[in-house]
Amino acid sequence: MFLRYCALMIALATVFTGQSNAASRDHTNILFIAIDDLNDWIGCLGGHPQVKTPHMDALARRGVLFTEAHCAAPVCGPSRVAIMSGRRAWTTGVYSNNANYPQRLPNVESMPEFLVRHDYHVMGSGKLFHGDTKYPKGAFHEYAKGIPQPWPKAAILSSRQKPVYEWQVDGKVITFPRNGMPADRTWKDTHTFDWGPLDLPDEKFRDTAVVEWGNQRLRNAYDKPFFLGVGIHLPHQPLYAPQRFHDMYPPATTVLPPYFKDDLEDLSKAGVDYALIPTTSGTHATVAKHGQWKSAVSSYLATVTFVDHLVGRLLKELEQSEHSENTWIVLWSDHGWHLGEKDHWGKATGWFRATRVPLMIVPPRSATPEDFQPGTTCDHPVNLIDLFPTVVEMAGLKQDDGLEGKSLLPLVNNPGSTWQDHTVTTFGRGNHAITSKRWRLIQYFDGSAELYDRSTDPHEWNNLIDDTKWSHIVSELRAKVPPEPNWKHFVRYGNFKAVIPSDGSRMLLFNHAVENHLEERDDESARYPKVIEQITTWLKNHPTNKKRIVIPADSQK
């Protein structure tokens, strides 16, 4: 009797194991690695000649590397809202870092919520949405939030750095700012435009804890397919990494990015503003004045290599786990980052340094596409807006209406497949970069624009917008600029940008002479009633169907 019972249990176990394996084949796991502010300075993209990223390079050799991947928006908040909602800024209204997902999009199902609804076990750590805690309720079954930095909050406040702030950890005295530079961004007290080594063990750094939490989840067994998002904060400023990574890049021998000192002379006022105003970081003038350019580049490279080390630990853990055969791997960065190119530091521009991002996809061994070839590259223009529909297809699920991207899996199967000829990056209302394989058009809200032939001008130094030889290209690319139907007019009035809604609601106003307002986080119309009155009067007296308007200087009071 006992032997018959054991035989029955073994038979049932075999049946259920088979069912579990079948389900596992049909619905694979997904490891979703997000990196903050990582531009194309990784080995396999050739962005910097000295960078060391062996683990990301090895990952690219296992899958498909998208060499023309661009962000939906070159700022953390709107980029991540676009990724997690699958919708563009002109659909969601999220153009800036005013990007608290549950507040801004309470009725839009996010990618993790979609997977929860379809019976995935959804886990996350670190920065996936904009901020470690600003995600919708019910988006994750497990989430590691609020992992602290090793330094006290006061250490990075300009108001407490007089001119420095000293703090201690494990008996070591550490001084901030590490680079000795004052803050350029006076609109906020947090001074993060800083860099340099911290002689602390790896486990003191926030991203080490983020990755270790992910490693622990990979050691577990699950009775359903899982989605594991791991959001690494570096190389977002401040650019601090353990000492040994900084030692790899001595500032004295660090190669600076290509730079043209007269680069801004062929730009419009809008282009110059986006280059010089310290919206997200500091100014190139301050970096140069303090002799910190090489140190900053060296520190960025150090943080990138530290991130690569952490990615390597995560991938090793996956490879040693029971999930190694049945897990998709997606690695991406939310946008790029300038390090002095066009006299700019940070993001929030329409140039390639802010829009181009690493993106690579590796299929599971158990579900490799029929024609897949590891180590291939895809040079079609793709966008991070495509990640949500890609994840849906990875999970073997049906895409809901409303997603505005396209699944990238056809390109994983065959990188030469037919694809769209351009992609769009949006940086504020009315500002768009249209990127094709050869061309980039940057269209500003006020009608001014830039055109670059990337085949002969990869650094975007020669603005061809006024060269009549290329007027047909300008016309073709301008036809691809999103119409943004929610907005009737974009108006330049001196340093002010006015946005006129199509539904007749009140005008939005942004003073671009104030550094952070270039990002358009807060409407300033209540502060400038006379400006609102003058713009309203001019529009009434000069009716037009033009979308982009500049009010002449002689009409301004």
Check the CA dihedral 237-242-246-248 and report its sign.
negative
Using a 10 angstrom Cβ sphere, with 0-12 exposed, 13-18 middle and 19 or more buried, the burial of residue 26 is exposed
Q: Kindly indicate the confidence band of residue 519, based on its pLDDT and cuts at 50, 70 and 90.
A: confident
**Cα 190–Cα 193–Cα 195 angle in degrees, nearest 5:** 125
* pLDDT value for 306: 98
Q: Is residue 2 part of a domain?
A: no
Q: Which residue has the higher pLDDT, 1 or 257?
A: 257
CATH number of the domain within which 108 lies: 3.40.720.10
- Residue 487: Cβ within 10 Å count: 18
Beta-sheet pairing, 142-144 with 121-126: parallel
Q: Are residues 59 and 142 in the same domain?
A: yes
pLDDT digits (tens, 9 = 90+) for 273-296: 999 999 899 999 999 999 999 999
Bridge partners of 328, per DSSP, are 30
Statement: residue 483 has pLDDT above 90: yes
Domain count, the chain: 3
Give the residue-averaged pLDDT of 107-124: 98
Give the residue-averaged pLDDT of 177-192: 89
Instruction: Determine which of 15-29, 250-264, 336-350 has the lowest per-residue pLDDT on average.
Output: 15-29
Domain ranges, residue 499 = 487-555
Give the residue-averaged pLDDT of 302-314: 98
Check the CA dihedral 193-346-487-90 and report its sign.
negative
User: Are the C-beta atoms of 45 and 358 separated by less than 8 Å?
Assistant: yes
d(CA 486, CA 488): 7
Q: Are residues 117 and 238 in the same domain?
A: yes
User: Are the C-beta atoms of 337 and 299 separated by less than 8 Å?
Assistant: no
* pLDDT value for 147: 76
Beta-sheet pairing, 327-333 with 359-362: antiparallel
Q: Kindly indicate the confidence band of residue 418, based on its pLDDT and cuts at 50, 70 and 90.
A: very high
HSE-CB for 301 with a 13 A CA cutoff: 25
Statement: residue 363 has pLDDT above 60: yes
Name the DSSP class of 492: E
* pLDDT value for 133: 82
Q: Are residues 290 and 432 in the same domain?
A: no
pLDDT digits (tens, 9 = 90+) for 227-277: 999 999 999 999 999 999 999 999 999 999 999 999 999 999 999 999 999
Token match 């980039």: residue? 440
Q: Is residue 109 part of a domain?
A: yes
**Cα 100–Cα 39–Cα 207 angle in degrees, nearest 5:** 60
CA 235 remoteness from chain centre: 11
Token pair listed for 464: 């061809």
Q: Kindly indicate the confidence band of residue 25, based on its pLDDT and cuts at 50, 70 and 90.
A: very low
3 state SS of 15:
helix
User: Are the C-beta atoms of 131 and 146 separated by less than 8 Å?
Assistant: no
The last residue of one of the domains, among 373, 392, 417, is 417
pLDDT digits (tens, 9 = 90+) for 434-482: 999 999 999 999 999 999 999 999 999 999 999 999 999 999 999 999 9
Q: Are residues 458 and 315 in the same domain?
A: no
Bridge partners of 29, per DSSP, are 327
Q: Is residue 91 part of a domain?
A: yes
Give the residue-averaged pLDDT of 199-211: 96
d(CA 174, CA 164): 10
* pLDDT value for 18: 36
Q: Are residues 161 and 290 in the same domain?
A: yes
HSE-CB for 404 with a 13 A CA cutoff: 19
The per-residue pLDDT of the chain, averaged, comes to 93
- Residue 367 has phi, psi (to 5 degrees) of -140, 40
* pLDDT value for 532: 97
Give the residue-averaged pLDDT of 168-188: 90
* pLDDT value for 7: 41
Token match 């907005």: residue? 487
Give the residue-averaged pLDDT of 361-387: 95
d(CA 522, CA 184): 20
Q: Are residues 39 and 89 in the same domain?
A: yes
Statement: residue 41 has pLDDT above 50: yes
The secondary structure element, H or E, covering residue 252 is none
Instruction: Determine which of 53-57, 105-109, 186-190 has the lowest per-residue pLDDT on average.
Output: 186-190
Q: Are residues 334 and 435 in the same domain?
A: no
* pLDDT value for 22: 34
Q: Is residue 219 part of a domain?
A: yes
Q: Is residue 469 part of a domain?
A: yes
HSE-CB for 387 with a 13 A CA cutoff: 37
d(CA 548, CA 283): 29
Q: Which of 384, 296, 306, 298 is nearest to 340 (CA)?
A: 296
Q: Are residues 413 and 428 in the same domain?
A: no
Q: Are residues 320 and 388 in the same domain?
A: yes
Q: Are residues 388 and 297 in the same domain?
A: yes
Give the residue-averaged pLDDT of 332-353: 98
Q: Are residues 467 and 500 in the same domain?
A: no
Q: What is the reported pTM?
A: 0.94
d(CA 89, CA 202): 37
Token pair listed for 409: 């899996």
The secondary structure element, H or E, covering residue 112 is helix 111-117
Give the residue-averaged pLDDT of 75-97: 97
Q: Are residues 445 and 410 in the same domain?
A: no
Q: Is residue 305 part of a domain?
A: yes
Catalytic residues, by residue number, are 76, 130
